[in-house]
Structure 1
């Protein structure tokens, strides 16, 4: 019975701490986009044109 005097307050503090951590994670945007990074890995970027910096210079027409 004496162990309950220690375990009940410890469990209440633990639940409060977990609640604060969950509240912080939702407020900081941790759960905003759960599927975006998984889809981004599968996207194929090979069909995109190269950026303008990497294209060779064009020959001047005569």
Structure 2
């Protein structure tokens, strides 16, 4: 019975900490653009990548 008396407050504290982190993420704007990264990977770059070793002096 003493184990339950210890585990219930710990579980409630962790739940409240997770809820606080979720609300902080909402206020910080973490969920503003959910589709941006998923679509950005599909967009082709206009300029081609330089060939390997092009940034080294000859």
Is there any run of 5+ residues in structure 2 with no aligned partner, and where?
A: 48-58
- Give 1 or 2: higher helix fraction: 1
How many residue pairs match? The answer is 47
Superposition pairs for residues 1-62 of structure 1, below 5 Å?
1-46=1-46
Q: What root-mean-square deviation, in Å, do the aligned CA atoms of Structure 1 and Structure 2 show?
A: 1.5
Q: Helix, strand or coil for the counterpart of 1:46?
A: coil
Q: What's the TM-score once normalised by structure 1's chain length?
A: 0.67
> 1: CA distance between counterparts of 2:11 and 2:45?
50
Q: What's the TM-score once normalised by structure 2's chain length?
A: 0.71
